[in-house]
């Protein structure tokens, strides 16, 4: 009889070893004892989505309604002007493409400090900026500055500081000359029914893709009567009071895009400048962090501001490597006054260098006086 050799089950050894292992004593559960909850380890380490969430900004509040309006506008004849209709559709589609935009985080502290090296007379402004950026870092969120008002003498570098601040924050910016701001249309847009219809500066800068850009309103004290408005134009002040208030700015309406399609402009960072803030209203001032700005001392002007201005002018005019890297001591001696005046004179020094190959003292400014035309009875000629 031919016998068959049984193959061993490879798991048999495991079964035997498990049977021969010493059995651990069973622990009776106490029904009155509550079992400890198993810790959720996944919640200890935040996901990348949670980390990045504060840096995304929903610009469009109702994308469905805006898309529907785009389709209706393509089919209908509204707004009546064909060119306006095309511009409106282009703007609305651009807004939809920027439905969600980024919020820029605060810059490293040393970059802010370098701004202080350039503006030694702006210590108060820099301290306010540092304080709020420190809070932004603590919150692990984007840079968020309160509306600032730089109040100081003309030509003291307030506007240049505001624009350089936007560069340090690494966000888009817009500069508005308040003296020529006769109504709020420049900021808030012009309705599509008008021939000159277009979006305002606020929506325009938001569409560059950053939800916390910098808006600089230069010399707001020169806006004059346009701040309070008139029967023919809306009040700029009322407009500003709304956009400076985060609650109302969350539903900001651009006149060209239409009030039916608001966007969130609550993260815009505002910087105002003024030569004399005494004419500004209390409601407006209550929304601004007022920072006094003094004139730079002669030492600050000579040792810090003029050399910095010179480097900036070389870069702005593509003169790096084509003109001397620094001004001579003799050239600096010819510069005085405010940073604004120093900038003008540096340009004239460079013009002299272009002609003669050396820095020459700029000629005195030519003063042009208006002369009366026609008869002037009893007046000066």
Domain of residue 148 covers 85-292
Query: Do 234 and 344 share a domain, yes or no?
Result: no
Helix (H), strand (E), coil (C) string for the chain? CCCCCCCCCCCHHHHHHHHHCCCCCCCCCCCCCCCCCCCCHHHCCCCHHHHHHHHEEECECCHHHHHHHHHHHHHCCCCCCHHHHHHHHHHHHHHHHCCEEECCCCCCHHHHHHHHHHCCCCHHHHHHHHHHHHHHHHCCCCCCCCCEEEECCCCCCHHHHHHHHHHHHCCCEEEEEHHHCCCCHHHHCECCCCCCCECCHHHHHHCCCECCCEEEEECHHHHHHHHCCCCCCCCHHHHHHHHCCHHHHCCECCCCCCCCCCECCCCCEEEEEECCHHHCCHHHHCCCEEEECCCCCHHHHHHHHHHHHHHHHHHHCCCECCECCCCCHHHHHCCCCCHHHHHHHHHHHHHHHHHHCCCCCCCCCCCCCCCCCCCCCCCCC
Residue 187 in any domain: the answer is: yes
Gap between the Cα atoms of 184 and 252, Å rounded: 13
Q: What are the angstrom distances between the C-alpha of 155 and each of 17, 165, 277?
A: 91, 17, 16
Asked whether residue 72 is assigned to any structural domain, the reply reads no
Has residue 66 been placed in a domain?
A: no
What dihedral do alpha carbons 45, 49, 55, 57 form, nearest 10°? -150
**Domain membership flag for residue 317:** yes
184 and 253 inside one domain: yes
- pLDDT score for 31: 52
Q: What is the predicted pLDDT for the residue at 162?
A: 97
Does 209 share its domain with 328?
no
My answer on whether 251 and 335 are in the same domain is no
Q: What pLDDT, on the 0 to 100 scale, is given for residue 77?
A: 59
269-274 and 289-292 strand pairing: unpaired
State whether 324 and 349 are in the same domain: yes
**What pLDDT does 223 receive?**
83
Domain membership flag for residue 60: no
Question: Does 232 lie in the same domain as 177?
Answer: yes
Last residue of a domain, one of 239, 259, 292: 292
Indicate if 125 and 255 belong to the same structural domain: yes
Residues 343, 204: one domain?
no
Low-confidence ranges of the chain (pLDDT < 50): 1-7, 9-24, 27, 41, 231, 366-381
Do the beta carbons of residue 335 and residue 346 sit within 8 Å? yes
Q: Identify whether residues 258 and 318 lie together within a single domain.
A: no
Same domain? For 305 and 182 the reply is no
Contacts of range 164-170, beta carbons closer than 8 Å, 24 or more positions apart: 164/115, 164/118, 164/119, 165/115, 165/129, 165/214, 165/271, 166/213, 166/214, 166/216, 168/107, 168/111, 168/112, 168/114, 168/115, 169/104, 169/106, 169/107, 169/143, 169/212, 169/214, 169/269, 170/104, 170/107
Residues 234 and 325 placed together within one structural domain of the fold: no
Q: Which residue has the tokens 């559709």?
A: 89
| 178 and 323, same domain (yes or no) | no
Task: Look at the chain and report how many structural domains it folds into.
Answer: 2
Do the domain assignments include residue 336?
Answer: yes
Answer yes or no: is 21 within a domain: no
Q: Which residues have C-beta within 8 Å of that of residue 218, sequence separation ≥ 6?
A: 158, 159, 162, 175, 176, 177, 178, 273
pLDDT digits (tens, 9 = 90+) for 27-66: 455 555 555 555 554 556 667 777 778 888 999 999 999 9
| 300 vs 303: CA distance, rounded Å | 5
pLDDT value at residue 336: 73
Domain boundary among 292, 319, 346: 292
Give the residue from 292, 316, 344 where a domain finishes: 292
Q: For position 89, which CATH number holds?
A: 3.40.50.300
Residue 20 belongs to a domain: no
Reported as a single tens digit per residue, the pLDDT across 224-259 is 655 655 545 557 889 999 999 999 999 999 999 988
């Amino acid at each position: 009889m031919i016998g068959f050799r049984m193959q061993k089950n490879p798991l048999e050894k495991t079964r035997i070893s498990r049977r021969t292992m010493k059995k651990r004593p069973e622990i009776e559960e106490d029904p009155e004892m509550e079992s400890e909850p198993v810790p959720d380890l996944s919640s200890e380490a935040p996901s990348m989505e949670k980390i990045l969430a504060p840096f995304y900004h929903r610009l469009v509040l109702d994308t469905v309604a805006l898309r529907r309006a785009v389709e209706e506008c393509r089919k209908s004849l509204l707004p009546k002007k064909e060119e306006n209709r095309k511009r409106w559709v282009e703007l609305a589609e651009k807004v939809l493409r920027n439905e969600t935009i980024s919020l820029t985080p605060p810059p490293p502290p040393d970059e802010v400090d370098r701004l202080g090296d350039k503006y030694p007379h702006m210590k108060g402004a820099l301290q306010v900026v540092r304080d709020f950026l420190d809070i932004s870092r603590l919150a692990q969120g984007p840079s968020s500055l309160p509306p600032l008002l730089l109040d100081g003498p003309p030509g003291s570098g307030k506007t240049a500081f505001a624009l350089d601040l936007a560069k340090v924050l690494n966000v888009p910016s817009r500069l508005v000359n308040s003296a020529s701001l006769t109504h709020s249309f420049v900021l808030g847009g012009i309705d599509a029914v008008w021939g000159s219809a277009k979006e305002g500066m606020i929506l325009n800068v938001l569409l560059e893709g950053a939800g916390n850009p910098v808006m600089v309103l230069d010399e707001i004290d020169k806006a004059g009567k346009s701040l309070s408005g008139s029967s023919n134009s809306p009040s700029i002040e009322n407009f500003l009071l709304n956009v400076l208030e985060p609650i109302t700015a969350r539903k900001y309406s651009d006149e060209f895009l239409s009030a039916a399609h608001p966007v969130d402009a609550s993260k815009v960072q505002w910087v105002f400048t003024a030569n004399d803030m005494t004419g500004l209203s209390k409601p407006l001032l209550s929304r601004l962090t007022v920072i006094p700005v003094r004139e730079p001392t002669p030492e600050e002007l000579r040792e810090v501001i003029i050399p910095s201005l010179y480097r900036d002018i070389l870069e702005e005019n593509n003169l790096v490597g084509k003109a001397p890297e620094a001004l001579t001591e003799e050239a600096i001696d010819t510069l005085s006054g405010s940073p604004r005046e120093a900038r003008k004179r540096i340009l004239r020094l460079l013009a002299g260098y272009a002609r003669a190959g050396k820095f020459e003292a700029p000629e005195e400014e030519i003063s042009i006086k208006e002369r009366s035309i026609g008869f002037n009875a009893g007046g000066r000629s």
